[in-house]
Structure 1
Amino acid sequence: MNMHATPDFLTDCRSSALSTGVEPPQDDATRIALHLAAQIQKEHLELHRQRVAGAIDPITAHCYLKIKELLWTVARLVGLAHLHDGTRKRIPSPPHPPLPLRGADPTSAILAADAPRLFIDVTPTHRFGGRQGIQRVVREIAKRSLRGEGSLPVVIENGRVTPYFENRGPQSPIEFRKGDKFVILDASWLATDEYVPIIETLKAAGGQLVTLIYDLIPLTQPLSVAAPMTEQFKTWFEAIVLESDRLLCISRSVADDLVSYLAREGVRTKADLRIGWWRLGADFDEQDEKSVSAEAMDVAASEAPFYLSVGTLEPRKGYSIALDAFDLLWRSNVVDARYVIVGRAGWQSEALQRDLRNHPEYGRRLFWLNDASDADLRHCYERCCALIFPSMIEGFGLPLVEAGRRGIPVIASDIPVFHEIGGADVRYFDLLDPIDLASEILRLSREAPTRLHSSYVTWDDAADAFLELVSTDAYQTRIAGPASAPAVAAPARAVS
């Protein structure tokens, strides 16, 4: 931390924090785990408070159960038992629209080609939609997949692989051939069982399985996700990742974490496993055609500067750290800045939601947009004075590149992946330290407003790099065989 530039009141806060005499753990992983444990405990207490607040007295509860039993009995007598006994047939939600075709349908030509094909799976995004990081990556790569020779986006339907395009006629299932590559680009842990037979068919045909890894958070920091997610992710990791011929990561930091995890756990992988990484783009939201919401317009209309954070509300995103930092600044009356959070409510965020809505500055200097569109987000980016990125665990960090592409100053946690992506263009604050974050915000507020001139990868460039990496087998790291020590090899061609 740059103590020489820290105002007196923040120095006093630091002195007060140190006066407890308890030394914080020096290891970042331990500090993160302890912070997450404290946040989750707070969330559990909030859930308990909500249950107690919603509890009813025993007499009322008894009457309620008796009335419900009567209604269910009547429903059975008139043939409507399926409404409450679990036998009701549920209509699955329809899949999201496939990719539109703006020219001739290339599917037949690609499938008939003698050369090996590259199939890019986007099944979960097709089924469940979503506008968060993984779905954004999937959509942008899928839209540009035809930039590669012989590459085609696909989905799994009824146990078979089919093209992911608007249906212009009957779509025949795809039959794998020797040399084909099947890239699992999406969040496949949501449907591991469906992928296993597809992978077995691919192997039998002599094809290659490539799996994209966004992060290892459920394995390395299980406190940051729901318990079922850890088990789901572990099953996926063993059934799909360890059966992959190639692994692709969204950053070098994730690749390093993966290599370390495999070595530390003594995990057996496929022979001659190769691991690579490439950079994601930052221009996807330009395609959004929705109008800006009135809420986003109101937030950005004031002349008072505002700082922006983007991401789902969940413990690992560090919103409590940022809120503590702004509380320090607001209470001291040294900064009249506003703080705007754009992100949906996520796992274990009930206490944080309550803290936001009950905050004395909520609606005045503190705002939360929990249902923002890309148009809203772009509107906020264009008008904010800086991005605050307090997250403690990330595989990449799309908000960092989104802000950087627009030249917006960024204040982010001091973690390796942010240094990899943001480099010297980002201001870093000590991990989990609201006082240091407050110092950086105050320091930036006293500088003349500016827009930086940073260069970031577009999604066209990112798609080209992705397709080249997979097509040419230019992975940067090689693991020679099962249970062997990882050995780093020079890439056949630089991938930035």
Structure 2
Amino acid sequence: MPSIRSTRREPACLAPWHRPHGRGRMLSLIDKAWVAPLTLLPVPLGRQMVRGGGRTDRGAAASRQLLIDVSVIVREDARTGIQRVVRALLAQLLENPPPGWVVRLVRATKYRGYRTAPALNGLPWSGAGAGAPLHVGRGDVFLGLDLSAHLVPRHFGQLARWKKQGVALYFMVYDLLPVLHPQWFNPRTQRHFARWLRAVALLADGAVCISESVRNELESHLAERYHLPTHSIGLHHIHLGGDLRASVPSQGRPAAFDAWLSGLGSRPSVVMVGTLEPRKGHAQALSAFEQLWAQGEDVNLIIAGKPGWKVEDLLARIRQHPELGQRLHWLDHPSDEALEVLYRHADGALMASQAEGFGLPLVEAACHGRPVLARDIPVFREVGANAARYFSGNDPQTLAAALRQWLADMQTHGRRTGPAIPWQTWSDSARQLLACLPLGIPQHP
């Protein structure tokens, strides 16, 4: 599949051309005029103002539309965990659309509301063109599959108008970390996410969370922050797939990748997969491995992930580490193809995150038959059940002790393939997602 990554930026002189004109501009002004007071109202009262009326009908012969928001990934696929979910679920929904429904990709930009999204071979593509206007009606469903946190509040009026026309609005919720742990994120991300979450609280008919843990956190937050009664919004949860090959994986291996794998030697290898962020536990893990190396343990630590934010000290520490290239290895921006090989080569995966919405590397490692040592947090208990090994504590000594015992057990019992951590396919996840939406599809046990 051609790459959908694009770093192109529109020249400033073209910005006015992208702003709505004609009827679209008039609708935009009307939307802003009646929506503005909602920002000052309590959320329960605001929800009453945008309650769906269902006045617009498309006619009995027309197929209903499942409108899937791809606003972020169509502009740039940064290959984050969220965008892997978007790619994987979208591929499944396009390959197996719900009977009687038209799956339509939609996007919004800073200056233009939701329109059809450019696509190539059915998947989002950052091609030219602003897309065609959308005609919606009663019975259509909008799914905010992409995390368009900076766009949904900007086009709140359009979505509210759709809701009054009878469109059901559903949003994927990947986690609540920017509001629950703001110290891990930059101020801009915090602001965008808080505004998005308030828009979801005002507009959503339903929310689909990627774990029961996130669902419970969302339910509590809606009640405590916005005073929404239970069942005001239909809250659902699904689990994510572990089969990387079904996620429209990126291709390519770093130069001399195979030679590097061979150079790891016969010593055990533990892999940490994920963007380097403050919450991911890389600093604690590196300190724990330093203790193991000092005590004579001959083991590799492989960090696979691109640099994130607020990790300047960690990056400098890795780059200047005396074990870098020996027993410490960092794969910056690994492709999905490289991760597939890495999972197969590694003896186990370490999940040291202090908080997650799900934890894709846990089920991806399980899909490859690799054991997992994970921090003892609720979402990892939910996903890993009793099959993963767990550790507690934020100090390096505790993690080093857990690693030492885990590695010894694998060597003693020959459990390179690990216990049977439960995992499902992306096809399973897509079926779970469709079951959460008001599509009128019979559910079979």
Specify the TM-score bucket, using the shorter chain as the normaliser: 0.7 to 0.9
Rate the CA distance shift 1:111–1:396 in 2: closer, same or farther, 3 A: farther
Inter-CA distance 426–292: structure 2 relative to 1 (3 Å threshold): same
The answer to whether the Cα contact below 8 Å between 2:175 and 2:214 also exists between their aligned partners in 1 is yes
Q: Which amino acid aligns with 1:328?
A: Q
State the one-letter code of the partner of 2:89. I
The alpha carbon displacement at 1:292 in A equals: 2.5
* Distance change (3 Å), C-alpha of 1:349 and 1:122: same
CA distance 1:291–1:238, shift in 2 (3 Å): closer
Q: Equivalents in 2 of 1:271, 1:115: separation in Å?
A: 29
In terms of mean alpha carbon deviation, does 235-244 or 252-261 score higher?
A: 235-244
Match of 1:107 in 2: none
Q: Distance in 1 between matches of 2:282 and 2:250?
A: 29
Contact 1:254–1:395 (Cα < 8 Å) also in 2: yes
Q: Does 1:155 align with 2:120?
A: no
Instruction: Please state if 1:173 is matched with 2:147.
Output: no
For 1:182, which of 142, 145, 166 is the aligned residue? 142
- Give 1:493 shift: 6.7
Alignment check: 8 A CA contact 1:296 1:380 kept? no
User: Can you give the 5+ residue segments of structure 2 that lack an aligned partner in the other structure?
Assistant: 1-10, 16-57, 123-128
Q: Match of 1:397?
A: 359
Q: Which residue of 2 aligns with 1:144?
A: 92
| Total equivalences in the alignment | 374
Match among 341, 361, 374 for residue 379 of structure 1: 341
Partner of 2:417: 451
Provide the residue aligned with 2:291 in structure 1.
Answer: 328
Q: Tell me: CA distance 1:202–1:167, structure 2 relative to 1, closer, same or farther (3 Å).
A: farther
Deviations 1:160-185 (A, max 9, x none): 42155339999642211011110101
Q: 2:194 aligns with which of 234, 255, 258?
A: 234
Residue identity matched to 2:134: I
Find the partner of 2:242 among 278, 282, 285: 282
Structure index of larger Rg: 1
The runs of 5 or more residues in structure 1 that have no matched partner are 1-87, 93-109, 475-491
Cα deviations by residue, 1:19-45 (Å, 9 ceiling, x for unpaired): xxxxxxxxxxxxxxxxxxxxxxxxxxx
For residue 468 of structure 1, the aligned residue among 418, 429, 435 is: 435
8 A Cα contact 2:351 2:375, kept in partner: yes
More off after superposition, 410-419 vs 155-164:
155-164
SS in 1 for 2:308: coil
Partner residue of 1:300? 261
Deviation at 1:272, TM superposition (A): 3.3
Task: Give 2:288's aligned amino acid.
Answer: A
**Offset, 1:153:** 3.9
Which residue of 2 is the match for residue 362 of structure 1? 324
Q: Which residue matches 1:419? A: 381
Task: Give the Cα–Cα distance (whole angstroms) in 2 for the partners of residues 260 and 161 of structure 1.
Answer: 34
Identity of aligned residues (%): 33
1:124 correspondence with 2:50: no
Q: Structure 2 CA distance, aligned partners of 1:246 and 1:181? A: 11
Q: Structure 1 length normalisation: TM-score?
A: 0.70
User: For residue 139 of structure 1, what is the amino acid of its counterpart?
Assistant: R
Aligned partners of 2:283, 2:67: CA distance in 1, in Å?
A: 42
CA distance in 1, matches of 2:113, 2:225: 33
Tell me the SS of whatever aligns to 1:139.
helix
How many angstroms does 1:400 deviate by? Answer: 0.5
Tell me if the contact between 1:280 and 1:462 (Cα under 8 Å) persists in the aligned partners: yes
What do the CA deviations read for 1:99-143 (whole angstroms, capped 9, x no partner)?
xxxxxxxxxxx9995353322211111112121111111111111
Question: Would the alpha carbon gap of residues 325 and 171 (structure 1) be closer, same or farther in structure 2, given more than 3 Å must change?
Answer: closer
What CA distance in whole angstroms lies between the structure 2 residues aligned with 1:444 and 1:403?
Answer: 16
Structure showing the higher helix proportion among its residues: 1
Structure 2 residue matching 1:154: 3-state secondary structure: strand
Query: Cα deviations across residues 188-210 of structure 1 (Å, max 9, x unaligned)?
Result: 10323443133023123111110
Give 1:330 deviation, angstroms: 0.6
CA deviations over 1:440-467 (Å, ceiling 9, x no partner): 2212322224213444111111111111
- RMSD between aligned residues: 2.9
What residue number does 1:248 align with?
A: 208
Q: Which runs of at least 4 in structure 1 moved beyond 6 Å after TM superposition?
A: 167-171, 492-495
Given that 2:174 and 2:209 are in contact with CA atoms closer than 8 Å, whether structure 1 keeps it comes out as yes
Whether the aligned pair in 2 keeps the contact of 1:299 and 1:367 (CA below 8 Å) is: no
Distance 1:217 1:473 in 2: 33
Question: Could you tell me how far apart the structure 1 residues matched to 2:372 and 2:91 are?
Answer: 29
**Retained in 1: the 8 A contact 2:64–2:102?**
no
Provide the C-alpha distance between the structure 2 equivalents of 1:366 and 1:134, rounded to a whole number of angstroms. 27
Q: Secondary structure at the match of 1:118?
A: strand
Alpha-carbon contact 1:385-1:449 (below 8 Å) kept = no
The question of 1:312 aligning with 2:275 is answered yes
Distance 1:269 1:186, change over 3 A: farther
